[in-house]
Amino acid sequence: MTGTITDAKQLARRERCTVRQVNMTLSLAFLAPQLVKAAVEGRLPRGINIERLRDPDADWSRQFQDLGLDPSTRAARFVYQLVDHSAHESGPGRTATEPVRRCR
């Protein structure tokens, strides 16, 4: 692909979808890696679907709280332990405790 996309409208036009679909899909990019892995593997607890995962809080630990996944519960521990979160929560220029910032 060549060219530059500067807004959701241009991306929607290129991908032949609606701006709403682009915005809703982009919000999934901010999910905690554990939640992404659990969703891809079909291991999220019953009742947690794609609609509940959209527009997540930037703080990964808060995402679990917002979904009603208390870390002390068996289901939340299962999802949270799917991957070694300490290795994935930090990235270039970030510490493991620093939340991902997102544009609004």
Q: How far apart are CA 90 and CA 104, in angstroms?
A: 22
Alpha helices in 4-72, H assignment, sequence order: 8-15, 19-27, 33-40, 50-53, 60-66
Q: What is residue 101's predicted lDDT score, i.e. its pLDDT?
A: 40
pLDDT band at 14 (very low <50, low <70, confident <90, very high): very high
Q: How far apart are CA 23 and CA 15, in angstroms?
A: 13
**Inter-residue contact 22 to 16 (CB < 8 Å):** no
pLDDT band at 7 (very low <50, low <70, confident <90, very high): very high
> The pTM is what?
0.55
- The dihedral through the CA atoms of 46, 73, 85, 102 has a sign that is positive
**Inter-residue contact 76 to 69 (CB < 8 Å):** yes
Percent of the residues in the chain that have a pLDDT greater than 90, as a whole number: 26
Q: What is residue 57's predicted lDDT score, i.e. its pLDDT?
A: 93
